[in-house]
Structure formats: structure tokens, C-alpha cells
Amino acid sequence: MLFSELYGCYFHTVSAVLAEAVQHTLTGERLRALVQRHAFAESGLTIPAALQTRWPLLKPDLSTPLRRAPSLPLTLLEQRWLKTLLQDPRIALFAPDPTGLEDVEPLFDLSDVVYFDRYLDGDPYTDPAYIAVFRRLLCAVQTHRRVQLLRTVRSGAVRSAECLPLRLEYSAKDDKFRLLTAGNRSCRTVNLANIRSCRLLEPVDPSGLREPARRLRTLTFRLTDERNALERALLHFSHFEKQTVRLDGRHYEVTLRYEKEDETELLIRVLSFGPMLRVTAPEDFVALVRTRLQRQLQLTAVPSPPREPPE
């Protein structure tokens, strides 16, 4: 919302058109193609004509009086927004370049944001050892290099493994990064916080890389659209592959596919909808919902006062 009117698609469309006009490569066909690529379909009827009349930036031969290609410098609002994002320790893991923002004041402080729907034991983003591991793995992903990892397993023991990093993933609910790998079935998915050290090995030909088959599961639930439940559900489950079917004016059936590693996070999201959402399949996920609700009921149950013995 902050930038809905700043440098929108029309600015980028006109900028692309004028950049070619400055180079004297703009033709009528190219003008229409640029408008179609950067703007909306109906813009092809208005922008080309406006550039020659209301905005006299193009001459009849499609040249321009401009001597230099237009630029879109950052506004102060955009600079303050970027400075705010650079406070995030997760973004700092990627070592962004803050040059030019030294004297810019952030829009707000990240401590002003309160998270109420995620775990509190997120990754140690400011720990030097964690940062070093993250950046080596990021380098391995970008350069297609194998790595040797020392990682802590569930038993608490430290194990060594060689694998090929494919990508880094972030879970918003868990507030954790994890690594998806190939070449070693024992560490196909690894939480970064469990990796003690990482050593870069030899590069691998990326043309032969194949991502391991995803262990996808299917969840089906029925949703009652009250208190804006449908819009919230589509937002909460936006990153899952899903199909939504309208049953009547207020009820919908949603089928989505998820990976086994995302099951706990998905369960938390499902429970957050309360009685507006009812899981219908599969039965093992229904059992997970029952177990979690029973546990919560036990934790919130108020013990009955002791009964006085009869006189």
C-alpha cells in the first residue's frame, strides 16, 4: 500500500518506451509490444497516443526530445522502507549493501512488530557461527558446490555428511531456515540451526541436478465463510498448491497438497480458524487435530474445587 502510487506500471511502461526512443530503436510494433508487456491490455489504446499529445515525449517519427534515458530514483519513502528492512537480522544474513542509506531514518523499528502466530524458538540469526554456516550454504547453492556438514541429529549426537545443497527455505511459523539437499538420503532436509559447521567441496555440473521427489500429502477441509474466513484462508494457505470448490453461498471445500516437513506448521494454521474450518481427510490428520485439541483442553481445564466431607 505504501508504494501503490509510486512508480507504478505506467511509470515503468513509459520509462521502457523512452529508453528505446533515446537509442533510436523504437518502432510502432516495438511500442505496442512494450506497452503490452509492462501495462494492462487496454493501455495499448491510451499510452501511445498520450505520449504524442498529452505527454509530448514522442515525436511523430517516434524519436524523443530527451537526450538521456529516464531513471527512477528512489523516493525518500522507499529509502526509509529499505532502511527498515535492513534492520531485519534475516535479511542481514544475505549481506546486503547499505550504501547510500547511512543518513536515512527507518520508517519504524522492528521491535514495534509483535508476532503472535509463530514459535518463539527461531533460529539464532545474530550468532556468528550460524551466519558463517548460512553464507557458506548460500554460496554452495549459488555455485552448485557439494558441502561437508557436521550436524546434530535427534539423538543429540553430531554426525558428518556430504551432500549437494539445492535451496534454502524459510518457515514463517517456525521462524527457521532449512536446507534442501540431494545426494544423501539421511540429510535430505536439514534445519540450519542443527548444522555445526560447513565446508565447501568441489563444484558439480548443474545440468545434471535433479531435485528429490517431494513427499506430498493431501489435506481436505470444509470452510464456513464467516468473519472473513475465506479471504484469511486463501492468504494463510497461499503458498500451498490447492483447489477451492464453492459448495453453496457460505461453504467451500479446499484441497491442498503439502510436504511432510510442513505438517506441524499446517496443523497450527488449521487450528487457528476454530469452528470455521473442519478437516474431512485424511484420517491421520483428523487424528492430529483431535490430539492437539484434547491436549489444549487438558491444559486449560479448571480443576474442580475439593468437595467437603459430609458432616
pLDDT of 10:
82
**Distance separating alpha carbons of residues 151 and 133, to the nearest angstrom:** 11
pLDDT of 212:
61
Regions of the chain with pLDDT less than 50: none
Q: Please give the sequence-ordered ranges of beta strands (E in DSSP) within 19-133, or none if there are none.
A: none
pLDDT of 37:
86
**Distance separating alpha carbons of residues 163 and 188, to the nearest angstrom:** 8
pLDDT tens string 189-248: 889 999 999 999 999 887 766 666 667 889 999 999 888 888 888 888 887 888 889 898
3-state secondary structure of 200: strand
Could you say which DSSP state residue 210 is in? -
Longest dimension (CA), the chain: 108
Name every residue whose Cβ is closer than 8 Å to that of residue 115 and which is 6 or more positions away in sequence: 175
Kind plus residue range of the DSSP H or E element containing 231: helix 229-236
pLDDT of 284:
92
pLDDT of 117:
67
pLDDT of 305:
64
pLDDT of 295:
86
pLDDT of 197:
94
pLDDT of 192:
94
pLDDT of 187:
67
Determine whether 284 is exposed, middle or buried from the number of CB atoms within 10 Å of its CB (0-12, 13-18, 19+): exposed
